[in-house]
Amino acid sequence: MDFQQLCTLETFQQVWSHYGYGGNLQDAVDQEFTRIKGNPHSHSPSSRLTHDTVERVRYRVLQHFNATPQEYSVIFTSGCTAALKLVAESFPWRPQTESEAGSLFCYFTDSHTSVVGIRGLLSGRGVVALCISPSEVVNRAKEEAQGEDVIYQTPHLFCYPAQSNFSGRKYPLSHVKGIQMRHLYPACDHQGRWFVLLDAASHVSCSPLNLQDCPADFIPISFYKMFGFPTGLGALLVRNDAADMLKKTYFGGGTAAAYLSGEDYYVQAANISDRFEDGTVSFLDIIALNHSFEALYRITGGMNNIQQHTFGLARYTYMLLSSLCHGNRQPVAQIYNEGQFESPSTQGAILNFNLVDSLGQMIGYSQVDRMASLYNIHLRTGCFCNTGACQSFLGITNQQMKRNLQAGHVCGDSIDLVDGQPTGSVRISFGYMSTFEDCQKFLKFVAECFVEKPITVDQERLEKLKMATTGTQSFNLNPPIKFTNEKIYNVDEKEKPTEPSLKGLGQRDLNSHREAYTLTNIYIYPIKSCGAYEVHDWPVGPLGLLYDRGWMVVNGNGVCLSQKRETRLCLIRPQVHLTSNKLLLQASGMDSISVPLENNNQMNTSYRVCQTKVCNDRVETVDCGDEAASWLSNFLGQPCRLIRQNPDFTRDMKKGPRGVATSTSLSLVNEAQYLMINHASVELIQKLMRSRQDNSEGDQLLDTQNVISRFRANLVIAGVEPFEEDNWSHLIIGNTQFVVAGQCGRCQMVGVDQDTGTKTKEPLMSLSAYCTGKVTFGLYLAHQLPEGSSPGSVLSVGSLVQPESQKS
């Protein structure tokens, strides 16, 4: 729900026209970009036009921050991180000597990774990196400012965020002068000259920044965080008085006044911006900024209006989310912030939280993210490149962070809980395109998916929050939101007093007569993410079921297509004809075509080999030719190609079963050779769906076969208790031995109806209501073979299934 994702050209056009600005936005942009542009380092008419336009944009950037070219220079970079790196590499760090202390680099614990990363450049330079908590700056300050040190000129750098990208907390901009005048800690305790690096990337997206009030020496910013476009463009604002302190070692095109290739002679450009912009700047993106600023002010009237609007949305959402409770009065959310959203001067338009179930257990952020996608809500999850704030708010110690890494959790992955404790959180950010309807949609999503009925609101807390206003500003909870019980999972209190009884819903008497465990269905999916091909008997190959996920469809950029983005893939019904050595492609309204199952030597030399990725694994593939590409492109309405895994390429499971000799080479599957589900577990989820839908209107109950098809398993078994399979470690089907490789995590793809290609919220919502922690359904399997042997067996419907449970 980050606002830059909403800033499409179509949206801009609507508001552009609404406010009567110059007709068509696209025409204005086209007019700008049809003028010939040239390299601004040259002197042709097109180059001079480009140079002058870029200089005009520099002035426009400074005007936005109430600064002048006499005070500040604008150095364009590839982003905020590149701006920070520029300062780190150019700052005149001094090592400690016998007569003088060395330079200090000080930063907040609540700092972005790109700030903390500066210390990586300092380890070999004798410079001390000092991490301090935000409270220390004021608590350890001197009563009187020490003033600028005229004797000791050792340069020190203090960096802090104007606004936390984790919690939205705004830190006092007065810290800038307080550090420069050596009034605040740590400047007050260390002699030398102190410079301030103000990380403004998060702050300037929705708040004004007046450099007359906080004359920081270096201010990195990112334009896509302000406008949504252009991406890959940022800037470093440098106070001219501090610019001469920066010393470059590398010099690129356009940065030199003169140099000699055969002699160590170099004179840097006199202009500060020219000095630090190596090579040709991204001048077309820079020119686009002119239109971005123009649209921003025409649409909104300025940053003060944006700040008030976005803060109102964030506070509205905070008040209701923090007051929302389960039916047993337990709060629904744990919110990570310092205050109570009292004022936009202390809190930005960011809300960071984790959801909690009615038993007080944390709900993993990955589960929240998956469910949000069903509502077309886009969230940010994890630690947001701010480990310090994440540790502080979530109470994660350094030792726990290291243990989480040992448990397999790394930054940016989906491991959201380790030993029941969260590894990150959920963040929603508001922008000037956000509306109250967005807030209401998000709150209703939380209520529908994660709140146990009857929904309650802590009215006492809500009233206190309404009164928590500053100055003369008042805040009305307007528009109001009404939480209803519609479409919210409801189980009679007698059936669901606690979580364990929910687990028992639909289970049969464990002492009753059991049916034999049998294999009831076999499915292969010859083309990844396309329709299933059901078979009665099928050979086991070295990579799993023969020809299962041996092919896949890629878009015009060579990226694998899946039903997450292209649901119509399920309407393609491939069939494997072993006797004729053909893969048949068929779909409604299309003539069938075929491609060979095995490529002969001639095809291997004529069809190109290409590289792509499956689940972040590099795979080597072979293109299947223009006929198949044309057929797929016509059906899907976009440029596509059919590729198959190169038979000479091998790819192994990332997390193979431990302690057993298995063949774990993979086809183009995501995780494992086989996926197995239990018919009884499907029936239980179906009962949960029925329980939910009994309290809803207009929802059509999905039949069992429809639900089975959505889980896209290779093997379906029967005669087992619901979810009994989750405790298995090994099994034998017929004469083939398998080892369990893990449980299958589920996402929004199970919402795709495999018969029609339409999306629904079920069965993921019911599955999410059943699961605690990670949402899983089905087992990953690998066939277990003696070392050096090949499968050579056949799986048949009706075969006996002999499981072995994990030992306690």
pLDDT at 505: 42
Contacts of 572 (CB under 8 A, 6+ apart): 527, 530, 531, 585, 586, 587, 632, 635
Using an 8 Å Cβ cutoff, are 72 and 62 in contact? yes
**Strand ranges across the sheet with 104-108:** 72-77, 234-239, 218-222, 193-199, 155-161, 104-108, 128-132
Q: Does 275 or 473 have the greater pLDDT score?
A: 275
Going by pLDDT thresholds of 50, 70 and 90, the confidence category of residue 691 is: confident
Q: Confirm if 102 and 154 have CB atoms less than 8 A apart.
A: yes
pTM listed for this prediction: 0.78
Edge-first strand order for the sheet with 537-541 is 544-545, 537-541, 794-796
Helices and strands counted in the chain (H then E): 23, 36
How many residues are recorded in the chain? 808
Q: 483 with 323: CB under 8 angstroms?
A: no
pLDDT band at 436; cut points 50, 70, 90: very high
- Top-confidence range, 202-216, 442-456, 675-689: 202-216
**Range with the poorest average pLDDT among 422-431, 516-525, 785-794:** 785-794
Find the mean pLDDT for residues 312-340: 94
How confident is the model at residue 23, as a pLDDT?
54
User: Does 808 score more than 60 pLDDT?
Assistant: no
Q: Are strands 794-796 and 801-805 parallel, antiparallel or unpaired?
A: unpaired
For residue 661, name the pLDDT band (cuts at 50, 70, 90). Answer: very low
Q: Tell me if residue 385 is catalytic.
A: yes
pLDDT digits (tens, 9 = 90+) for 474-523: 455 555 555 554 333 332 333 333 333 333 344 433 333 345 799 999 99
pLDDT, tens digit, for every residue of 754-773? Answer: 999 998 888 888 888 777 65
DSSP label at 608?
P
DSSP β-bridge partners for residue 220 = 236
Phi and psi at 119, nearest 5°, equal -65, -20
Residues 6+ apart with CB under 8 A from 227: 4, 7, 289, 292, 295, 296
Instruction: Count the Cβ atoms, other than its own, within 10 Å of residue 410.
Output: 9
Catalytic residue, from 106, 325, 385, 449: name it.
Answer: 385
The HSE-up count of residue 185 (CA atoms within 13 Å, CB side) is 15
Report whether pLDDT(2) > 50.
no
Express each pLDDT in 230-255 by its tens digit: 889 999 999 999 999 999 889 999 98
Confidence of residue 616 (pLDDT cuts 50, 70, 90): confident
The percentage of residues in the chain with a pLDDT greater than 90, rounded to a whole number, is: 61
Q: Does pLDDT of 149 surpass 80?
A: no
Tell me the DSSP string of 739-779: EEEEEEE--GGGGB-TTT--B-STTHHHHHHH-SSS-EEEE
pLDDT confidence of residue 441: 95
- The Cα 211–Cα 234 span in angstroms is 18
Which has the closest alpha carbon to 808: 724, 721, 720, 729? 729
> Residue 382 above 60 pLDDT?
yes
Residue 341 DSSP one-character state: S
Closest CA to 200 of 41, 106, 83: 83
- Rounded-to-integer distance, Cα 163 and Cα 203, Å: 5
Mean pLDDT across the stretch 196-208?
A: 97
Regarding predicted confidence, which is higher, 340 or 4? 340
For a pLDDT cut of 70, what percent of the chain falls above it? 84
CA pair distance 124, 103, nearest whole angstrom: 13
> Is 688 exposed, middle or buried, given 0-12, 13-18 or 19+ CB atoms closer than 10 A?
buried
Query: Which string of b and e fits 262-289 if b means at least 16 CB within 10 Å?
Result: eeeeeebbeebbbbbbeeebbbebbbbb
* pLDDT for the residue 508: 36
3-state secondary structure of 36: coil
Q: Indicate the helix (H) or strand (E) that contains 257.
A: strand 256-260
* Averaged pLDDT score across all residues of the chain: 85
Q: C-alpha distances in angstroms, 725 versus 177, 314, 677, 682? A: 64, 44, 8, 12
Q: Is the pLDDT at 105 greater than 90, yes or no?
A: yes
pLDDT band at 552; cut points 50, 70, 90: very high
Helix (H, G, I), strand (E, B) or coil at 536: coil
pLDDT band at 694 (very low <50, low <70, confident <90, very high): low
- The highest-confidence range among 22-31, 134-143, 471-480, 580-589, by mean pLDDT, is 580-589
> Distance between CA 287 and CA 60 in Å, rounded?
11
pLDDT score of 33 more than 60: no
Q: How many CA atoms lie within 13 A of 346 on its CB side?
A: 9
- Closest by CA to 272, choosing from 85, 75, 92, is 75
Question: What is the rounded CA–CA span in Å between residue 185 and residue 131?
Answer: 12
- The pLDDT value given to residue 770: 78
Residue for token pair 């997390």: 655
Dihedral sign for Cα 177, 178, 183, 184, please.
negative
**Residue 512, token pair as written in the block:** 């009753």
What is the pLDDT averaged over residues 701-710? 89
Q: How many CB atoms lie within 10 A of CB 658?
A: 8
Helix, strand, coil % over all residues of the chain, rounded to 5: 30, 25, 45
Eight-class DSSP state of 364: P
Q: What is the pLDDT of residue 767?
A: 84
Q: Is the pLDDT of residue 693 over 80?
A: no
Write out pLDDT tens, residues 300-316.
999 999 999 999 999 99
pLDDT tens for each residue of 345-377: 999 999 999 999 999 999 999 989 988 988 889
Mean pLDDT of 13-37: 53
Can you give the pLDDT at residue 697? Answer: 44
As a three-state string, the secondary structure of 57-114 is HHHHHHHHCCCCCCCEEEEEECCHHHHHHHHHHHCCCCCCCCCCCCCEEEEECCCCHH
Tell me which of 431 and 494 has the higher pLDDT.
431
What does the pLDDT read at residue 503?
A: 38
Rounded mean pLDDT, 448-466: 89
Q: What is the pLDDT of residue 150?
A: 59
Sign of the Cα pseudo-torsion (295, 298, 299, 305, in order): positive
Tell me, what's the pLDDT at 762? 86
**Residue 717 falls in which region: left (phi positive, over 0), alpha (psi -120 to 50) or beta:** beta
**What DSSP element (H or E) covers 50?**
helix 45-64
The position carrying tokens 């001469």 is: 244
